[in-house]
Structures are given as C-alpha cells and as structure tokens.
Amino acid sequence: MIETSLIMQILELLVYLFIFALGLSILALIVIYIIDVNQTKQAIRRNYPVVGRFRYWFEEMGVFFRQYFFAMDREELPFNRADRSWVYRAAKNLSNTTAFGSTRDLRTTGTVLFANCPYPTLGEDASPASEVTIGPGCARPYTTSSLFNISGMSYGALSTPAVLALSNGARMAGCWMNTGEGGLSPFHLQGGADIVFQIGTAKYGVRDEAGNLSDEKLRETAAHAQVKMFEIKLSQGAKPGKGGILPGTKVTAEIASIRGIKQGEDSISPNRHPELNSEDDLLDMIARVREVTGKPVGIKAVIGAYGWVDSLCLAIKERGIDSAPDFITIDSADGGTGAAPMSLIDYMGLPIRESLPLVVDILTAHDLKQRIKINCSGKLITPAEAAWALCVGADFVVSARGFMFSLGCIQALQCDKNTCPTGITTHNKRLQQGLNVDEKAERVKNYAKNMAYEIGVIAHSCGVPEPRKLKRFHARIVTESGMSKPLDQIYSEISIVEQLISARTTDTKNQ
C-alpha cells in the first residue's frame, strides 16, 4: 500500500513538472514571438516569428550535415573526403588500398592520368629519391633528398602542441619545416627538424625596433644549425597583396619576444615589403640575406602577372648566375591560410596547375632551371598530385593543409575563431589538450614517409627508378574532347615563353 501511494506521489509530481515545463515553454514562445515581430534586424524573423529562427540554426548546422551525411566522396571543397581519408590513413600507417574499382571519374576535363610503362621498374632497380643541393654557391648550402616538406605556417596561427608535433614529425621523417612569417619559436627548434626561416613583410624575428630587416638578428637566426634556408615571402596564394594586424591582445610576452615586437601593442604586417619596388631591389635583398647568413635564400610567391619572372631572369643574367634566388616557392591561388578576405581567397592569382609549368618554362628558357630550385604548394596532398608537380618540373613539393590533416584537422573551417576542435589552430588550452604531441608527431612522420613511398610507386609504374626522373610525358591531362594529352604537348602548345620573348622584342622595337 505504501509503495503504491509513493508511486502515485511521484507520478503526480511528474505531471505537475510536465505542466510547469509546458507552461514555461509556451511563455518562452510568446516572449520570442514578441521579440521577433518587434525586432527590425532580420526580415525572416519579423515575417515568420519563432520558426524563422530555425533558418539560422540550419544554416550553421548544414555545414556539418553536408560534410558527414550528404557530400559525396569527391565533392567537398577545399578538400574532398577521398583525399582527406587518404591522408588520415597514411598518417595512421593504415593500408591505403581500395577494392573493386576507382570512384574517381576519369572522363572529366582536367583529370590527371599517368602514362604507365609496359616494363615498370623492378624493385631491385628502384632507387631512393636523389639528393638535391640548394644554393651550391653559398657558404653553407643545403642538401636534401626529401621530396615532400612542411609549408609555412606561423607559430601563433598554429598552437604550441601543433608546432611541436610537426617539428618532431619532420625530424623523424627527414623533411624540412617552414616557420611561416611568425618567426622562429623555441618549439620549432625543440622538435629538431631542419628549418626554413620565412621572412614575412613584417620581418618578424629578424627586425630591428623600427621594423626594418636587422643583420644582427639574421646572424643570430642563422647561427642555429637547424635553420637551413631563408625564404623571403612576397605573397601567398590565399591572400596576395594583403597584410594584417595582430591585435595587441594577442601579443603576449612570448609572441612579442619571438617576433621582436612590443607586448600588448597592435602589430601591423604591411601588404608587401615596403623596400622592394623592383626585381633589382629583390635581388639586392636576396644578396644581403645570403651574405649575412651564409645560407641559401629563396622567395615565395603566388603567380598572377608573370612578366616579372621574365624580368627577374633577365636581371639575374645581367648580374651573374650567382645572384639568383636559390629557390622559388610557387604557391597556388587556392592555397590555405588562417584568415583571408573572400575576394582574395576566391579570385586572386593563378592556380598551381597553371603557374608551375609557366615558371618552369620561363626558368628553362633562361637556362636557370638548374640553378634555381622549385618548390610548389597548393592542395598537393596526395601522392598523385605531388607526382604531377614533379613531372611538370618541381624539385620539391610542400604542403600546409596536408600536414594539418595528419595532425587530425577535420576541416571544420574555424581556424580564425580560436575554436579549432582539434587543438591545431587555437590558443584555448582545453582544446589544445586533445592534441597529443607524441602521437601526432608519429602521424606527421607516417604521412611524410607514405607520401614519399607512394610517389615512388607512381614513378616505378611509369618506368623510372626514382621520382626525380619523372618527366612531363609521364603525365597526361584529359582535354575537352574527352581524350588525354601528355603535359609536354599541352604546355608546348601554350608556349608562354615565346609570347613573353615576342612581347619583349615588340617593347624594344617600340622604344
């Protein structure tokens, strides 16, 4: 009897609670209704009070629904699921073989295909990627065989554990890591990888108090044996011609000391190096950095207008071949960044498919291709993409977002919001905790090694003993007719170099 009355009491309480909750909900709906019809900021909410709010919620959640449920494997942008999955599996050292057949449509225009050889390279004839020496004329040239390396991402854009995992992983894989424009942090050095120090437009890490390039700081930076090369950044694919402000609130004591700026004060990155107005200025800066540091010096740029590459080559010829940049890093218009305006990210510059062959051809026409090594980046995150770049004429491939995927990036596209769910691009300590440095360093290493291995597999299938022997005729592109053509034919038809030389001749005649 006592038990029954207790149950009745609980039921009664639940009924009251239910009625109370219902009443509260109705009251909340009435309040929301009144707020919505009286507000003037959003027409949808004014015209469709209460239900109109779902639109904004669905819009936000749609991103996740599309990624997880609706987008096909090869549909998503910037990176589709098939490519991301390849990186995730490579990073975990899981098998990347697929069954039954390709889900890639081989008929669409622009599809890259490789020309397999009837007599592929036998295992015993295969050789590791050959060594390349960058800046042979420098006091301390850099020699490496690493094909696939980590592209510039600043400490600041990346969290401490992300930088640590990348630098440890790069050391274990034997590849280099670029600092990005935010200076050299202790975490870059701690991991023990070879470092490329990037000189951005604010010269973070190598500037004097007025923000000018400092020889003393350059010397200090070059004194680290790990720092192998310097890269002067002219532009990057996602935001050519765009500088930036680092708000004072983000300039902590640590960031201030790494970058050489004042703690708590806004720091402005100009939208270009103010002292560089011509190819001659650029060659002067390259000569200065090389002289002071004794190490190879290159430039990074996204190509848009390309006459300057031709002029640069002419200026080099005039000064002598030693004056050349030791390498050029070509970034694609669809490169990544922490944050950039949509008008630049979506519209400015040429994609790597167009710019890489163009620069290779200009350097070749000036007989500078051997002297100036070519790095390239822009969504080259799978072996096939990287092998395409080697066929076109690149000496090295670098990637930023490929390595972010190896760290566990889920393409949540919140890199600029300090809410990165994987701890890669956030300073929130709680979120950073999710990123285990040792575990992720291992993944970075696996990814770099599996990339190099599988680029080799493509090379062997094409019949060459190692990836650096790949040539343009080894890759083909499906054209509008549905038939594919080899790269050497496609680019000789376009013959940009002939156009440049003829434009120059016309200029001279008109003078």
Residue 276 binds ligand SF4 (CB under 6 A): no
* 414: partner contacted, choices ligand SF4, ligand FMN, none (Cβ within 5-8 A by kind): ligand SF4
Residue 147 binds ligand FMN (CB under 6 A): no
Cα→Cα distances 297→19, 54, 199, Å: 74, 54, 10
Residue 156 binds ligand FMN (CB under 6 A): no
Q: Pick the piece of the chain touching ligand SF4 (CB under 6 A) from 120-128, 268-276, 404-412, 496-504.
A: 404-412
Which strand (E) or helix (H) includes residue 43? helix 43-47
* DSSP at 67: I
Q: Pick the piece of the chain touching ligand FMN (CB under 6 A) from 64-72, 139-147, 333-341, 462-470.
A: 333-341
Token pair listed for 46: 């004014």
Residue 237 binds ligand FMN (CB under 6 A): yes
* 233: partner contacted, choices ligand FMN, ligand SF4, none (Cβ within 5-8 A by kind): ligand FMN
For residue 270, how many other CB atoms are within 10 A of its CB? 13
Cα→Cα distances 143→124, 138, 193, 195, 256, Å: 25, 12, 14, 13, 33
Residue 152 binds ligand FMN (CB under 6 A): yes
Taking CB under 6 A as the criterion, the residue among 90, 129, 157, 234 binding ligand FMN is: 157
Taking CB under 6 A as the criterion, the residue among 228, 300, 371, 472 binding ligand FMN is: 300
Strands 142-144 and 132-134: antiparallel
CA diameter of the chain = 112
Paired with 144 in beta bridges are 132
Taking CB under 6 A as the criterion, the residue among 71, 126, 276, 412 binding ligand SF4 is: 412
- Exposed (0-12), middle (13-18) or buried (19+): which is 322, by Cβ within 10 Å? middle
Token pair listed for 466: 């190692």
Residue 160 binds ligand SF4 (CB under 6 A): no
Q: Are 421 and 412 in contact (CB under 8 A)?
A: yes
Taking CB under 6 A as the criterion, the residue among 289, 397, 420, 451 binding ligand SF4 is: 420
Shortest distance (Å) from residue 399 CB to ligand FMN? 3
Instruction: For residue 339, give every residue at least 6 positions away whose Cβ sits within 8 Å of its Cβ, in sequence order, or none.
Output: 415, 416
Q: Pick the piece of the chain touching ligand SF4 (CB under 6 A) from 63-71, 362-370, 421-429, 442-450.
A: 421-429
Rounded CA gap, 180 and 154, in Å? Answer: 4
Interhelix angle 160-173/437-461, nearest 10 degrees: 40
**Residues 388-427, mask of contacts with ligand FMN (x by CB under 6 A):** -----------xxxx------------x---------x--
* 90: partner contacted, choices ligand FMN, ligand SF4, none (Cβ within 5-8 A by kind): none
* 203: partner contacted, choices ligand FMN, ligand SF4, none (Cβ within 5-8 A by kind): none
- Exposed (0-12), middle (13-18) or buried (19+): which is 195, by Cβ within 10 Å? buried
Number of residues that make up the chain: 511
* DSSP at 158: B
* 412: partner contacted, choices ligand FMN, ligand SF4, none (Cβ within 5-8 A by kind): ligand SF4
Buried b (16+ CB within 10 A) or exposed e, 255-269: bbebbbbeeeeebeb
* 463: partner contacted, choices ligand FMN, ligand SF4, none (Cβ within 5-8 A by kind): none
Shortest distance (Å) from residue 420 CB to ligand SF4? 3
Residue 410 binds ligand SF4 (CB under 6 A): yes
Contact positions toward ligand SF4, by CB under 6 A? 404, 409-415, 420-422, 424-425
Contact positions toward ligand FMN, by CB under 6 A? 151-154, 157, 180-181, 198, 233, 236-237, 300, 331, 335-338, 377-379, 381, 399-402, 415, 425
